Amino acid sequence: MNFSLLFFLLNLPYWVCLLHPETKKNAGNNYRNSIFCFSFFSFLSMLQLSEMVMAIVVVVLLATTKGVKSRKAREDLDYFEYCAMSCRAHSASLAEFGGVGDGSTSNTKAFQAAINHLSQYQSDGGAQLFVPPGKWLTGSFNLTSHFTLYLHKDAVLLASQEESEWPVIEPLPSYGRGRDTDGGRFISLIFGTNLTDVVVTGDNGTIDGQGELWWQKFKKGELKYTRPYLIEIMYSENIQISNLTLINSPSWNVHPVYSSNVLVQGITILAPVTSPNTDGINPDSCTNTKIEDCYIVSGDDCIAVKSGWDQYGIAFGMPTKQLVIRRLTCISPFSAVIALGSEMSGGIQDVRAENILAIDSESGVRIKTAVGRGGFVKDIYVRGVTMKTMKWAFWMTGNYGSHADNGYDPNALPVIQNINYHDMVAENVTMAAKLEGIPGDPFTGICISNVTITLAKKAKKLPWNCTDVAGISSGVVPQACGLLVDQGPSNVAACNFPEESLPIDNVQVQVCSYRRKHL
């Protein structure tokens, strides 16, 4: 029997439930939906149903949800309401600027013409651009300040596969080169720099990166420049990215960089788990950022916290700090749910992650660094994580040796300290933890408490593998390695989690409205 096929069939009801549009339509409920779907699948598994019965269940699921959408009254496309950090005084539809949503006509010029026109209202209450139902093929376009881009739930932005529609820009100064190749990089599909007050949102409208062509070029070594991302905002402040579905990105999906006051909410990200570098959300040298209520299936890290690469990141010197991550559901069989690094040379500090559900992922929390990185990862707080089928629950590595070039300083050693993990449950885990510091530069201040890990039937004989680390543990099953000194069961609250809120938690959204106006 083909066991891969059998595994797929046995998991099929869970995937249908989790990925069905009606299940994930309300992105703010992704965390609860995932728990429901996983519980549903677990119930089926306990009953040991045959593949045939499970297939019948799938048909029933689809049949019972098929008519829901059709029963809803068609909304008025000339007026609707939504929540955002800022509301706008002026409105327009992409169709008013020659946009054609047939899936084959290029709308790059229409998007840029609309945004250029609406930019005149920056100082007059701002403006919003509505993307109506349809398939809107487009290359890259640039946003403007005091601006909202809103996608209707039946709107799909299709990323052009013509390289001529993707201008090439300079590499990020904190990286010194592109991630895929030396030199420049293709600009992102939705791009903005030096902006203030920008909202990219919708009623769960879709942005399709059509990444297969880019993935194949990358694998074959045919790229002259680094692949584009779907959304990148640089050197900006007061940014909201929310209530969208992003699929098949050529590379990273959401990349706020050198920015502050960034809110990412209710985002669904889907990519084949074998697709290269399709990271979900990568806050990079950003301050005061919140990521919450997101569902991510990825070929790479679901959340990757970054701050520059080797000597370039050290010289740029802009850390990522004051980052909140909560209510995240992630599936990433070959990478991490939350990764810190490996490009962390500008530093990472004060990261708070809680209420995370990880399913079928390589590792829960991973710290990646190396000799030559410099920088620091410190004051990391993670609690309330549930992990289902993992290779490692915890992973730290000091030998992640990918370098920008040979100009890095071999004496630039990273500082990893005050790492706190508590209140976690994991099941079907191959190995509890692999914690590898750097000889002569140990990772210190590690605290793991109130963590229960159930190992898989074919787990590693050594559940904990620790070298060049130091810290404490309490209430950990199976018992942590000796380098994390056991404090006894009475100290399960040893690992702290800051109770004071960060400024980003004080940002309020308001009810905004769109009313079509012919400009």
d(CA 335, CA 303): 10
**In Å, how far are 113, 266, 297, 386 from 260, measured between CA atoms?**
28, 19, 26, 30
Residue 180 appears among annotated catalytic residues:
no
Catalytic residue among 180, 203, 300, 360: 300
* CB atoms closer than 10 angstroms to residue 216: 11
d(CA 101, CA 244): 18
d(CA 108, CA 163): 13
Whether omega for the bond prior to residue 478 falls within 30 degrees of 0, making it cis, is: yes
d(CA 267, CA 252): 14
Q: Which residues contact 60 (CB under 8 A, 6 or more apart)?
A: none
Q: What string of H, E and C letters represents the secondary structure of 256-320?
A: EECCEEEEEEEEEEECCCCCCCCCCECCECCEEEEEEEEEEECCCCCEEEECECHHHHHHHCCCE
Cβ-count burial of 167 within 10 angstroms (0-12 exposed, 13-18 middle, 19+ buried)?
middle
* CB atoms closer than 10 angstroms to residue 486: 15
d(CA 401, CA 4): 33
Q: Where are the beta strands (DSSP E) in 94-227?
A: 102-106, 127-131, 134-138, 141-142, 147-151, 155-159, 168-169, 185-186, 190-193, 196-202, 205-208
> Would you name the residues annotated as active-site residues?
300
